[in-house]
A and B are shown apart, each in its own frame.
Chain A
């Protein structure tokens, strides 16, 4: 078996060698298209990997560095950061619909255990196939074997709903037509004497409803006294199942670049073909060959032209509105004042400490009016479209004229420090732009800011507030571009 696997992997490695890398799919007429400049790269990298902005010190350090290898170094630093784990963990949480109350009804203890499990899996960079196997073959207590929360996160825990969700998450199939739900008919639930603990277990005494199930032209047998999920999961996560691998590779592509090769990333069907099939095929094979190493794939995407392109095109990075959580957290970072979050689910009520970022909440039951306004992922469904990317007038109204936001700007310890330490107008302009937009202002912008300040006879403090307001309202701030 092991020899077979090794030769399998080798076979793929050989195939890959001929295709070299992602960039080769973007070369036209032997020429490599232009890469974005450092300031665009810096912001893109931070937002795409961590969902956070760089501090102005980190931004300056990168922009001022003359190291020719600084982009790759930054990517590696970001991929080793806690912020990466939190941000990607949050994206996983959206997929898995981690939520205390309706419709997932996991309750706070279950939510915490589940979040910790996801975090650990990402921190140890568990191979994707292994992660999915662990998730789908889990049984036991929702507190002690947190992965079983997968089977609890349904308002109606029927085999059809469970199977439908598995098909959607791992195969991008929105409408399962086979009867694979049979594999999940042995799942049972029981409560314990501990508040909200639930045991997910397998009924081994159940008679097999069918001797075999046909999936994708393959007949999978059901044996009595066996956990039938194993049969399905072995098929699902087998390296032969390229669709399984392709869906996750494409999802990572979508998370990082703002558009998938298959769009929407969870709608794989014959009418919705990939924009660059050969590239998707390459990614799939590369992902398998790497041993389903998600971080390695993310790293390869980040270091490629597709991510670092100057002009977006088919299959490359595409400007996209920041997620609600990212906008709210960016405002918290820029002003140094975060929103207050609390969970009203009686277990008992819990209050999140000051400085909590919204990506750290891990529970869609805990929300705020601003998060809802920008459309934080609802976790009602396992669809990527729950990440609201559209911009509406109410969201702009908040940025343009909210007294809450204005108060945060004026009371900001970060900005008031900055005013104290930057005596000249030019220094203020530079520091604000570096803080909000992660770049230095251009000559023309400096002129614009200066004449604005002179015309209106502003103090450095007033100028600082106005500039922060203005930059928070710019489309440059609102988009990962």
Chain B
């Protein structure tokens, strides 16, 4: 694990000295934007009626006796010993926006302060220790922009949205990979700009030209250098690409694995289309196999490369969907928003695999065991990333505010997921 040899005693002192022992170096969120159905995936109810299980009565037995998955997840069923399930996520916000905010920030305090997303918090906390040139927090291919995910930490901690399409032959990453402008052309343009700026330096009264020039040089290095190769999927074998699935989600997950290898601490793989109010099952028939494949490939690949132990993988949406199918028009077999009880998958980064946390009732409409609130999950992620979940963040006016205002508050938290992490 450690390439550099550290004398035993120093290593021992390092372990003792760190208050939050860092288990994870990176976290990948596979975000199913719109709200996926837990009933059809991670919290199957085969004993219930068709009004609950809908078109999916069959289940997948897995390689862990106590974990049973939905019938559309055959690949994940083979590796249930590599992840755990939280079946008792809850927050009670049934609007996309409010659910998204709660899930991504952990804040349910209802105050006027807009909290930053967990990815922004991690990139803020790591700003001095992270030495990479790639942005510390990357969204594939675009963040959900409906709320300001920088929160009160500000603009610089938002995620870097790659845009482009990783499933295409060339993944055109915004600002990094641009096939329209070849390297020699780019170099010529940079020289022209340098000449122009030199002539113009007296024109710009009160602008720090030196600082701008230094940012530009850094970018030239990034654009012309090897680092952007991390986004070049043509260096992967055809088999590897196909293992993940030749679609947006699959290839984004493959890029995520490569970003983990490059040391990027937070990666948000956002996939949309999960808001299936109407004709839910035909959509699931198409989307679940893609999700199954992408998650299976990511987890096995990370594991085979020895990266899973230091990488947290989470999968879920802003909420779940109604366990009860809406057969009537206009829904015609849809599922609505449901935030009282839904599921999240967690794996790696010191999370214990092969476990199920929490339980819902026979219809899946109520949590009957171990409610897990957003801040409980996010706080545990912070802890695994070596960040004290009880720490503070600086607010311009209010001073230092608790990083997770809801943590350990009744009705907003049920405590960190200590039972799910390795001691």
List the interface of chain A (C-beta within 8 A of B). Answer: 101-103, 154-156, 161, 164, 174-175, 310-312, 318-319, 344-345, 364-365, 367-369, 371-373, 375, 378, 380-381, 383, 385, 388, 390-394, 396-398, 400-404, 406-407, 410, 442, 444-445, 448-449, 452, 456, 466, 469-471, 473-476, 479, 481
Determine if A410 and B216 form an interchain contact, defined as CB atoms under 8 angstroms apart.
no
8 new A-B contacts at CB < 8 Å, known A102-B147, A481-B205: A161-B112, A367-B146, A369-B163, A392-B155, A392-B215, A400-B220, A407-B180, A456-B188
Contact residue among B97, B143, B177, B396 (Cβ-Cβ distance under 8 Å from A385): B396
Determine if A397 and B175 form an interchain contact, defined as CB atoms under 8 angstroms apart.
yes
Determine if B192 and A403 form an interchain contact, defined as CB atoms under 8 angstroms apart.
no
For B223, the chain A residues whose CB sits under 8 A away are 397, 400-401
Assembled-state Cα–Cα distance A334/B135 (Å): 29
For A175, the chain B residues whose CB sits under 8 A away are 397
Determine if B215 and A474 form an interchain contact, defined as CB atoms under 8 angstroms apart.
no
Q: Does B410 contact A (CB under 8 A)?
A: no
Measured CB to CB, the nearest residue on chain A to B218 is A393
Determine if B174 and A393 form an interchain contact, defined as CB atoms under 8 angstroms apart.
no
Measured CB to CB, the nearest residue on chain A to B93 is A102
Determine if A369 and B145 form an interchain contact, defined as CB atoms under 8 angstroms apart.
yes
Determine if B176 and A369 form an interchain contact, defined as CB atoms under 8 angstroms apart.
no
- Central interface residue in B110, B145, B156, B199, by most chain A CB within 10 Å: B145
Q: Closest Cβ of chain B: how far from A155's Cβ, in Å?
A: 6
Determine if B192 and A380 form an interchain contact, defined as CB atoms under 8 angstroms apart.
no
Q: Closest Cβ of chain B: how far from A280's Cβ, in Å?
A: 22
Assembled-state Cα–Cα distance A331/B114 (Å): 30
Determine if B180 and A470 form an interchain contact, defined as CB atoms under 8 angstroms apart.
no
For B206, the chain A residues whose CB sits under 8 A away are 312, 318-319, 481
Determine if B174 and A369 form an interchain contact, defined as CB atoms under 8 angstroms apart.
yes
Q: Does B207 contact A (CB under 8 A)?
A: yes
Assembled-state Cα–Cα distance A255/B266 (Å): 36
Assembled-state Cα–Cα distance A164/B220 (Å): 46
8 intermolecular pairs with C-beta atoms under 8 Å apart: A102-B147, A312-B206, A319-B205, A401-B223, A403-B164, A470-B193, A474-B197, A479-B207
For A373, the chain B residues whose CB sits under 8 A away are 158, 161
Assembled-state Cα–Cα distance A394/B205 (Å): 24
For B96, the chain A residues whose CB sits under 8 A away are 344
Contact residue among A102, A398, A481 (Cβ-Cβ distance under 8 Å from B175): A398
Assembled-state Cα–Cα distance A471/B163 (Å): 24
For B200, the chain A residues whose CB sits under 8 A away are 474-476
For A318, the chain B residues whose CB sits under 8 A away are 206
Determine if A378 and B207 form an interchain contact, defined as CB atoms under 8 angstroms apart.
no
For A442, the chain B residues whose CB sits under 8 A away are 199
Determine if B178 and A312 form an interchain contact, defined as CB atoms under 8 angstroms apart.
no
List the interface of chain B (C-beta within 8 A of A). Answer: 95-98, 101, 110-112, 114, 135, 142-143, 145-148, 150-152, 154-156, 158, 160-161, 163-164, 172, 174-181, 186, 188-190, 192-193, 195-197, 199-200, 203-207, 209, 211-212, 215-216, 218-220, 222-223, 396-397
For A369, the chain B residues whose CB sits under 8 A away are 142-143, 145, 161, 163, 174
Given A381-B114, A470-B193, verify A445-B215 contact (CB < 8 Å). no
Determine if B199 and A445 form an interchain contact, defined as CB atoms under 8 angstroms apart.
yes
Determine if A103 and B196 form an interchain contact, defined as CB atoms under 8 angstroms apart.
no
For A406, the chain B residues whose CB sits under 8 A away are 178, 180-181
**Top 6 closest A-B pairs, CB basis?**
A397-B175, A375-B155, A378-B148, A380-B114, A101-B97, A319-B206
Q: Closest Cβ of chain B: how far from A438's Cβ, in Å?
A: 13
For B215, the chain A residues whose CB sits under 8 A away are 391-393, 396
Assembled-state Cα–Cα distance A342/B379 (Å): 34
Given A390-B156, A393-B218, A476-B204, verify A402-B175 contact (CB < 8 Å). yes
Determine if B205 and A401 form an interchain contact, defined as CB atoms under 8 angstroms apart.
no
For B207, the chain A residues whose CB sits under 8 A away are 319, 475, 479, 481
For A174, the chain B residues whose CB sits under 8 A away are 397
Assembled-state Cα–Cα distance A402/B179 (Å): 10
Q: Closest Cβ of chain A: how far from B221's Cβ, in Å?
A: 10
Given A390-B156, A398-B175, A401-B175, verify A473-B205 contact (CB < 8 Å). no
Measured CB to CB, the nearest residue on chain B to A394 is B160
Determine if A466 and B192 form an interchain contact, defined as CB atoms under 8 angstroms apart.
yes
For A392, the chain B residues whose CB sits under 8 A away are 155-156, 215
For A466, the chain B residues whose CB sits under 8 A away are 188-189, 192
Determine if B147 and A101 form an interchain contact, defined as CB atoms under 8 angstroms apart.
yes
For A103, the chain B residues whose CB sits under 8 A away are 112, 114, 147
Given A369-B163, A372-B158, verify A475-B212 contact (CB < 8 Å). yes
For A372, the chain B residues whose CB sits under 8 A away are 143, 145, 148, 158, 161
Given A388-B154, A403-B179, A479-B204, verify A397-B199 contact (CB < 8 Å). no
For B158, the chain A residues whose CB sits under 8 A away are 372-373
Determine if B112 and A474 form an interchain contact, defined as CB atoms under 8 angstroms apart.
no
Q: Closest Cβ of chain A: how far from B194's Cβ, in Å?
A: 10
Measured CB to CB, the nearest residue on chain B to A370 is B174
For A388, the chain B residues whose CB sits under 8 A away are 154-155
Contact residue among A367, A378, A445, A470 (Cβ-Cβ distance under 8 Å from B114): A378
Q: Closest Cβ of chain B: how far from A219's Cβ, in Å?
A: 29
For A368, the chain B residues whose CB sits under 8 A away are 145
For A161, the chain B residues whose CB sits under 8 A away are 112
Determine if B205 and A397 form an interchain contact, defined as CB atoms under 8 angstroms apart.
no
Assembled-state Cα–Cα distance A213/B314 (Å): 53
Determine if A400 and B219 form an interchain contact, defined as CB atoms under 8 angstroms apart.
yes
Assembled-state Cα–Cα distance A476/B197 (Å): 9
Determine if B181 and A481 form an interchain contact, defined as CB atoms under 8 angstroms apart.
no
Q: Closest Cβ of chain A: how far from B321's Cβ, in Å?
A: 16
For B397, the chain A residues whose CB sits under 8 A away are 174-175, 381, 383
Measured CB to CB, the nearest residue on chain A to B148 is A378
Given A397-B223, A401-B181, verify A312-B146 contact (CB < 8 Å). no
Q: Closest Cβ of chain B: how far from A378's Cβ, in Å?
A: 4
Q: Closest Cβ of chain B: how far from A435's Cβ, in Å?
A: 16
Assembled-state Cα–Cα distance A20/B4 (Å): 73
Measured CB to CB, the nearest residue on chain A to B162 is A369
Determine if B150 and A452 form an interchain contact, defined as CB atoms under 8 angstroms apart.
no
Determine if A474 and B180 form an interchain contact, defined as CB atoms under 8 angstroms apart.
no
Assembled-state Cα–Cα distance A27/B281 (Å): 76
- Central interface residue in B186, B193, B200, B205, by most chain A CB within 10 Å: B205
Measured CB to CB, the nearest residue on chain B to A365 is B146
For A404, the chain B residues whose CB sits under 8 A away are 163, 174
For A164, the chain B residues whose CB sits under 8 A away are 112
Assembled-state Cα–Cα distance A378/B145 (Å): 10
Assembled-state Cα–Cα distance A210/B211 (Å): 56
Determine if B193 and A474 form an interchain contact, defined as CB atoms under 8 angstroms apart.
yes
Determine if A101 and B176 form an interchain contact, defined as CB atoms under 8 angstroms apart.
no
Q: Closest Cβ of chain A: how far from B211's Cβ, in Å?
A: 8
Determine if A101 and B146 form an interchain contact, defined as CB atoms under 8 angstroms apart.
yes
Assembled-state Cα–Cα distance A371/B155 (Å): 11
Determine if A396 and B192 form an interchain contact, defined as CB atoms under 8 angstroms apart.
no
Measured CB to CB, the nearest residue on chain B to A471 is B196
Determine if B114 and A481 form an interchain contact, defined as CB atoms under 8 angstroms apart.
no
Assembled-state Cα–Cα distance A469/B191 (Å): 12
Assembled-state Cα–Cα distance A182/B156 (Å): 38
Given A393-B219, A445-B199, verify A403-B156 contact (CB < 8 Å). no
For B180, the chain A residues whose CB sits under 8 A away are 403, 406-407, 410
